[in-house]
A and B are shown apart, each in its own frame.
Chain A
């Protein structure tokens, strides 16, 4: 790998020699040990850890479009580990720990910014719920700090603390190690590091079918021909149902739209990640100065990748209810991504009923922060043909077994309510 370093930076600044490509343009070979469908953060991370942790170098990632075109480049970049359901707590903390070393691991600055996330409470019952969540986190060795109203006010002086505030702020829960990561850098960093270990990254190559018989899956049909593989993993985010359907699987997943928004850039203002407690609404400020925020999914199945306007208004109302000073900012851009919603809001990282076919999907709102741990655990699951302990709770048959719930908010089994 052409390593990035300060001396290289200086040398390139002083010469007009261009930087080399970050990864090769690979052509599909006829056979691989492992083939991963989907070149998002999850697929690329999995390929990287297959090579780095398990010494597998005959690995391919096949991506329909180009690297970064999917949700890895559309999310609001929040990373945190303030989960309280058993299974989630340990998994997301493992992921956050991997984030903390990732720039060095990949020799690529992913710009992790641990600016802290504050979840707000607007009622005594919410304060109790946050205290409980914080206690569970601390029992698991995760940092959490319950804040009173005055402490929130000191950290976030720009919220609405007036007597007229529609949802008065009573306090909040701070996770200081939570923050944001530059999402594109995650895709590029994993792609470059995987490529340097021999992984083929094949862009512009859509999987259209599986080669399978009674003994399992043996490869895929693609727009660029047939590719044989001993093991195949699905990591296609919003399209899991569709791709798994090509192999004859029906999943506990519905595809829904989530929108995100960015305002015009302003000077540093919001120095944390903030989650509103009265509605699903979260906000942070990017390094370029834009306020980045989002809310709920649109609320009905959709593959249009184009959000509905009433959601824009609702999210803007949340923004202004929380931070009145935002009312005069202009929205610069907004967009939508297709995400897999599941009956309990939890994902699937597992083997499937079809031999040699592995599934990673159902990530709902939360897959970006999971990227390094998904890669780590899915790679181990594929290499050993057995679920990594941290993802045993994310099995496909958990509803049939009546396994312990992963439902953090108790919404019930309707995917569109998570």
Chain B
């Protein structure tokens, strides 16, 4: 079974977590008027077969949002960090800042 190593709680089964989708996207700055920028942000996905940066929330544990790198071809989980420590380059979680 897929397990995710939460930096705060240790390795836990994925069923304790809620999936939050692609974390590689960057939300356009507020005030961006070009509809294409919002369209691409909301609707287009790289959908790679390989390493995928994604959000998971440990909602039956510490409730932190995490940024996980998982290989979609094998399910091997690589780096896991707290999403709030991911810095601006990581994009923003489903809940925003």
* A residues at B contact (CB < 8 Å): 241-242, 250-255, 299-304, 308-310, 343, 399-400, 413-416
Q: How far is the CA of A253 from the CA of B1 in the complex (A)?
A: 25
- Interface segment among B37-45, B58-66, B79-87: the answer is B37-45
Nearest B residue (CB) for A344? B43
B54 and A301 form a contact (CB under 8 A): yes
Residues of B within 8 A of A254 (CB): 21-22, 45, 47
* B residues at A contact (CB < 8 Å): 1-2, 13-15, 19, 21-22, 35-36, 39-40, 42-47, 49, 52, 54, 70, 72-75
B74 and A304 form a contact (CB under 8 A): yes
Nearest A residue (CB) for B74? A304
A400 and B39 form a contact (CB under 8 A): yes
Known: A301-B54, A304-B74. Is A343-B1 also a contact (CB below 8 A)? no
Residues of B within 8 A of A308 (CB): 1-2, 14
Q: How far is the CA of A335 from the CA of B60 in the complex (A)?
A: 28
B72 and A304 form a contact (CB under 8 A): yes
Residues of A within 8 A of B15 (CB): 310
Q: How far is the CA of A79 from the CA of B95 in the complex (A)?
A: 38
Q: How distant is A207 from chain B, measured CB to nearest CB, in Å?
A: 15
Question: Of A301, A399, A416, which one neighbours B43 at CB under 8 angstroms?
Answer: A399
Main secondary structure of the interface of B (DSSP, over half): mixed
Known: A300-B54, A308-B14. Is A253-B74 also a contact (CB below 8 A)? no
Q: How distant is A198 from chain B, measured CB to nearest CB, in Å?
A: 34
B2 and A252 form a contact (CB under 8 A): no
B47 and A300 form a contact (CB under 8 A): no
Q: How far is the CA of A300 from the CA of B74 in the complex (A)?
A: 13
Residues of B within 8 A of A343 (CB): 42-43
A250 and B46 form a contact (CB under 8 A): yes
B45 and A252 form a contact (CB under 8 A): yes
**Apart from A254-B22, A301-B47, A400-B35, what 11 extra A-B contacts exist at CB < 8 Å?**
A241-B45, A242-B49, A250-B46, A252-B43, A253-B45, A254-B47, A300-B19, A308-B1, A310-B1, A415-B45, A416-B19
B73 and A413 form a contact (CB under 8 A): no
Q: How far is the CA of A250 from the CA of B43 in the complex (A)?
A: 10
B52 and A301 form a contact (CB under 8 A): yes
B36 and A400 form a contact (CB under 8 A): yes
Question: Of A251, A255, A299, A413, which one neighbours B19 at CB under 8 angstroms?
Answer: A299
Nearest B residue (CB) for A314? B15
Residues of A within 8 A of B73 (CB): 303-304
B19 and A253 form a contact (CB under 8 A): no
Residues of B within 8 A of A251 (CB): 44-45, 47
Q: How distant is A303 from chain B, measured CB to nearest CB, in Å?
A: 5
Residues of B within 8 A of A300 (CB): 2, 14, 19, 54, 70
